[in-house]
Amino acid sequence: MQSSCKAADLSVPAQATAFGQWVLEQVGAPDILVNNAGLFNPGNISTEAEGSLDEMIHVNLYSAYHLTRTVLPAMIIKKSGHIFNICSIASLAAYDNGGAYSISKFALYGFSKNLRKELMPQGIKVTHVIPGAAYTDSWSGSGIDPKRIMEAEDIAKMIKAASELSVQACVEEIVMRPQLGDL
């Protein structure tokens, strides 16, 4: 298999669809799809900038929706594959300053749960990954000690482990939090 990459703004439906088509041309039906496009802008519903919800819905939900819909027919024909949707602890409980972000992640979690139910008989697994704070570039400059939160690699290791199970087993949900709890 050739190694290549392609940049795309997955918040734009046409680009998400084009990227999905490119993936199908490169590798055919993917064995694993990780929907991990994400954006966090802090704010409360009453005070966040106008358009925050639209922007975060486009990045955090529509990116996964359109990309998944593009590659799904090939996965259904193949009757296999594993889709991982990177949700958030904010998908499970609202929190201060979470506003539109939490709403968009609740929506992604609902999409993921619905997709799991829909694809069970198709042989395609769906896992909702629900991490708490993990150190990525978005945390740099925040003043939070990187040792206080999870490493991004921790989440990757859990995804890899879930992807290696037998075809008869599906981890539906992975909830991960920093050892010292949420921030």
* Residue 5 belongs to some domain of the structure: no
CA 86 to chain centre: 3
* Residue 41 belongs to some domain of the structure: yes
Say whether pLDDT at 3 is over 80: no
* Residue 118 belongs to some domain of the structure: yes
12-67: pLDDT as tens digits: 999 999 999 999 999 999 999 999 999 999 999 999 999 999 999 999 999 999 99
- Indicate the pTM of the whole model: 0.95
* Residue 137 belongs to some domain of the structure: yes
* Residue 144 belongs to some domain of the structure: yes
- Name residue, tokens 């921030």: 183
Counting the structural domains of the chain, the total is 1
User: Is 86 in a helix, a strand, or coil?
Assistant: strand
Beta pairing, strands 32-35 & 82-86: parallel
Distance CA 33, CA 27 (A): 12
76-130: pLDDT as tens digits: 999 999 999 999 999 999 888 999 999 999 999 999 999 999 999 999 999 999 9
Domain range spanning residue 44? Answer: 13-176
134-171: pLDDT as tens digits: 998 888 888 999 999 999 999 999 999 999 999 999 99
CATH number of the domain to which 98 belongs: 3.40.50.720
- Name residue, tokens 């978005």: 138
Q: Which amino acids are annotated catalytic?
A: 101
User: Is 59 in a helix, a strand, or coil?
Assistant: helix
